[in-house]
Amino acid sequence: MTDSPRRGRPGYDRTQALDAAVAVFNEQGYDGTSIAALADRMGVTKSALYHHFDSKEAILAAALGVALDGLDNVIAAAESAPGSALDRLTHAITGAVRLLVLEKASVTLLLRVRGNSATERAALERRRDFDARVAALVSAAQASGSVRRDVDARTAARLLFGTVNSVVEWYRGDDADGLARDVVAIGLDGLRVR
C-alpha cells in the first residue's frame, strides 16, 4: 500500500493548500489575511484547511520553512564547495538566485516578514544566520586576495543579497542559470581585485 498525500475538500493536498495560502499572503499580507479569507479564496471550508494545518501561523511556518530550508541548503553547499573562496561565494549567489526562481512565492513571503509573531521572529533569526554565513564567505574571499578588502564584508554581503533578493520583484522568466550568471557578473565585478 502506498502513502498518498492527505487531501482536503475539494481536493487540495497539503502542498496545493500551502501554495494557495502563500499566494494570498503575498497579495494581502500575512497579518491582513484570515483563515476564513484563505478558505474562501480556495473554495473550501475552514475545516478543510485545518485538515492540513493547525493554524494560520502553522501555514506561515511551513511556507517560510520552504524558503529558509532552501537557503540553508544553498549556504551549506557553498561552504563545502570545492575551489577558491571566490568560487564558494559565487556558488552561494548562484544557488540563491536559482532558489528565488524556483520558490519565488515562499521567498517573497520570507522577505516580507517583519517579526510580528514568534514564527516571523524565528524566520528573521535564520535569515540573520544566513547573512552572517554569506559575510563569512566574503571575508574568506577578501583574505584570499580575490575580493577587495576596503569594503566591509557584511556590507558587501548585504548589497550582493539585496540585488539577489530584488529578483522577486521584477524577474518573470524561468532561466535561473542565465539570471544567476548575470547577477554574479554584475554583483561581483565591483568587488573583484583587479
**Residue pLDDT, tens place only, 64-113:** 999 999 999 999 999 999 999 999 999 999 999 999 999 999 999 999 99
Q: Which three cell numbers stand for residue 152?
A: 566591509
According to the model, what pLDDT value does residue 8 have?
Answer: 42
* pLDDT for 7: 45
User: What is the predicted pLDDT for the residue at 11?
Assistant: 65
Q: How many CB atoms lie within 10 A of CB 89?
A: 29
**pTM over the 0.75 mark:** yes
- Enter the C-alpha cell of residue 170: 521584477
pLDDT of residue 51: 87
pLDDT of residue 194: 72
Q: How far is CA 190 from the centre of its chain?
A: 25
Q: Which residues of 154-181 are buried (b: 16+ CB within 10 A; e: fewer)?
A: eebbbbbbeebbebbeebeeeebeebbe
Q: What is the pLDDT of residue 103?
A: 95
Question: Quick one: cell of 140?
Answer: 574568506
CA angle 158, 162, 164 (to 5 degrees): 120
* Contact predicate 173/179, CB 8 Å: yes
Low-confidence ranges of the chain (pLDDT < 50): 1-9
Domains of the chain plus CATH, in order, are 7-53 (1.10.10.60), 56-189 (1.10.357.10)
